[in-house]
Structure 1
Amino acid sequence: MTGNRRTLHSALLELALTALMLFIVATTVRWLLGTLDPAAGGWWNTPEGRLLAVAPLSGYTVTAVMLSPWGRVTGGHINPAITLAMWRYGRTPGRDVAPFIAGQLLGSLLGIAAGRLVWGPVFASPTVDFAVIRPAPGWSWAAVAVIEAATMFVIVAVAGIGVSSRRLGPFTSWAVGTMIAAQILALGTLSGGIANPAREFGPALLSGDLSLLPVYLLAPPLGALAATVVINRINARRRTSARTPADRAPAPAPHP
């Protein structure tokens, strides 16, 4: 397979995987968050209570995607910020970055559109509203940006440590899924807790709520790129310190 065909094939896989993830998100929001009934009482009928189910379903869906046969082909990024990070870590060729991101964003639209088709008018109702993310009242765009960037910084830093270690590599997908679940539990009712531009792209466009879309699109990639700078420098220092004195010594000048 030539380079261009391989890139197209991988980008289409990212599109399909992202669409699948967003459809699972749509289904989760429809049947868990979309059926909240605070009047019924009980911890289960609160946003925090439902997040106990939403968080692991969302987080370990990402793990499952990464471990799937398709995910093993592309890396299972399903997140533009992760694609940028894997490029900076040297795991994704530069020519794949734009096609991957385009596929992820289009997949986001298709996954949410499929949710609307399958679940009907209730998916567009105010209680579900295309699974769009909104921060809690009082949260400014700056506060959301800081949290989203910081969350992605941590995820990408941990992923960078994992992909650069043969011993830790097999656990990276599980670590990423666990961190995503943890951020949803901790921040889901505050900043939104997504740190994935693709997670918000389709819902925002189809719901028409574009007020914070630029923040959700830009903050996670900035956090991801900042993390790669730190981890790449740490790895470079480790490689330098691991070299023997003989390796570091300058080569002797040739005799005339």
Structure 2
Amino acid sequence: MSVEHPPLAKRCVAEFAGTGILIFMGLGVVMTSILTGAQSGLWQVAIVWGIGVAVAVYTVIGVSGGHINPAITVALAFWRKHPWREVVPYVLAQLAGAFVAAALLFVIFNPFLKAREVEKGIERGAPGSEITAMCFGEFFPSPGPLSNSPGRYSVDEHAKLNALVSEQSAFLAELLATMVLAIVIAAVLDARNPGAPTPGMGPAFIGLTVAGLVSIFGPVTQACFNPARDVGPRAFSMLAGWGTAALPRGTGAVTVYVLAPILGAIIGMGLYDRVLKSPGPREAE
């Protein structure tokens, strides 16, 4: 007997809401960490991202499947039975949710952003304003150390920091991290996997996986793994005064934060389905 899904419009609203919840919590903790020093260390930021993923998935999984990530939506269409015709509506809903969440946070934190820019002697939209634009879109490596260091912004220090991570290294980091995330998502939600957590606990383990990955890759790429997390907030920041200063070096906005997560999710889910997946009853016989 086939399962009747909610109408596509309702599922898209759920993806909008779920992605909005995730980005509101995740970018919110980035802003409090960078702009107020409220968090002591990367793990505190990472675990809030993980909690954001978990609560977002718990909130909407019963309606839309809880993708909240264009890379996962594409991977599910590539390997599973998610209809390709629904990929664009899902992705647009995810991007919109991320954009709106970023806009709401901007309203709340803009005074803090302005204060940091004054403190560092930078003008929004000019070179160096990456240290506040990073509160929305992502950069490789993270400009966080420049934003949190004492004194004025230094072009030379920024150049030294950028030299530590190439676009190729950032691409590989995002691809591998999203690949691991996709494998875990497939594994913990697989009813035939004897090692999967009890029903209902899957999103919690997905959130913990995200927290662990953010702890590793945060300093390298700001830990995207989700094109909506980057594209929606980055697009808002470009409209909110940062302009092209909100773009990372070279083609990184596309290759590192869009193509790498999508490719990583496709590879990861494919590896699970084709190599790691527990055999079903018939296959086991």
Aligned partners of 1:21 and 1:118: how far apart in 2?
Answer: 17
Aligned partners of 1:181 and 1:4: how far apart in 2?
Answer: 31
Map Cα deviations across residues 189-208 of structure 1 (whole Å, 9 max, x no partner).
12222211111112322243
Match of 1:152 in 2: 178
TM-score (norm 1): 0.79
- Give the counterpart letter for 2:137 in structure 1: V
RMSD of aligned Cα (Å)? 2.7
Cα distance change on mapping 1:142 and 1:122 into 2, 3 Å:
same
Cα distance change on mapping 1:199 and 1:236 into 2, 3 Å:
closer
| Pairing 1:172–2:185 present | no
Aligned partners of 1:57 and 1:74: how far apart in 2?
Answer: 23
Preserved contact between residue 66 and residue 173 of structure 1 (Cα < 8 Å):
yes
Match of 2:68 in 1: 78
Cα distance change on mapping 1:164 and 1:26 into 2, 3 Å:
closer
Match of 1:135 among 130, 135, 140: 140
What secondary structure sits across from 2:221 in the alignment?
Answer: coil
Cα distance change on mapping 1:80 and 1:35 into 2, 3 Å:
same
Structure 1 residues 162-201: aligned runs within 5 Å: 162-166=188-192, 167=194, 168=196, 170=199, 171-201=201-231
Q: Which entry has the higher C-alpha Rg, 1 or 2? A: 1
Preserved contact between residue 73 and residue 90 of structure 2 (Cα < 8 Å):
yes
Aligned partners of 2:284 and 2:107: how far apart in 1?
Answer: 58
Residues 123-132 or 216-225, more deviating = 123-132
Match of 1:247 in 2: none
Identical pairs, percent = 25
What secondary structure sits across from 1:131 in the alignment?
Answer: coil
Match of 1:217 among 233, 236, 258: 258
Q: CA deviation at 1:20?
A: 2.3
TM-score (norm 2): 0.72
Q: CA deviation at 1:131?
A: 2.8
Aligned partners of 2:88 and 2:273: how far apart in 1?
Answer: 22
Match of 1:41 in 2: none
Preserved contact between residue 46 and residue 211 of structure 2 (Cα < 8 Å):
yes
Aligned partners of 1:28 and 1:105: how far apart in 2?
Answer: 19
Match of 2:233 in 1: 203
Structure 1 residues 1-256: aligned runs within 5 Å: 6-36=7-37, 49-68=40-59, 70-90=60-80, 92-123=82-113, 125=117, 126=129, 127-129=131-133, 130-136=135-141, 137-138=162-163, 139-166=165-192, 167=194, 168=196, 170=199, 171-205=201-235, 206-207=237-238, 208=243, 209-211=246-248, 212-214=252-254, 215-234=256-275, 238-239=279-280, 242=283, 244=285
Preserved contact between residue 88 and residue 228 of structure 1 (Cα < 8 Å):
no
Preserved contact between residue 43 and residue 211 of structure 2 (Cα < 8 Å):
no
Match of 2:157 in 1: none
Alignment: residue pair count: 231
Preserved contact between residue 178 and residue 264 of structure 2 (Cα < 8 Å):
yes
Preserved contact between residue 74 and residue 87 of structure 2 (Cα < 8 Å):
yes
What secondary structure sits across from 1:135 in the alignment?
Answer: coil
Aligned partners of 2:139 and 2:276: how far apart in 1?
Answer: 37
Q: CA deviation at 1:227?
A: 1.6
Preserved contact between residue 26 and residue 52 of structure 2 (Cα < 8 Å):
no
Q: CA deviation at 1:16?
A: 1.8
Aligned partners of 2:190 and 2:278: how far apart in 1?
Answer: 13
Residues 184-193 or 81-90, more deviating = 81-90
Q: What stretches of structure 2 of length at least 5 have no aligned partner?
A: 118-128, 142-161
Preserved contact between residue 6 and residue 63 of structure 2 (Cα < 8 Å):
no
What secondary structure sits across from 2:41 in the alignment?
Answer: helix
Q: CA deviation at 1:216?
A: 0.1
Map Cα deviations across residues 105-125 of structure 1 (whole Å, 9 max, x no partner).
111111101111222343464
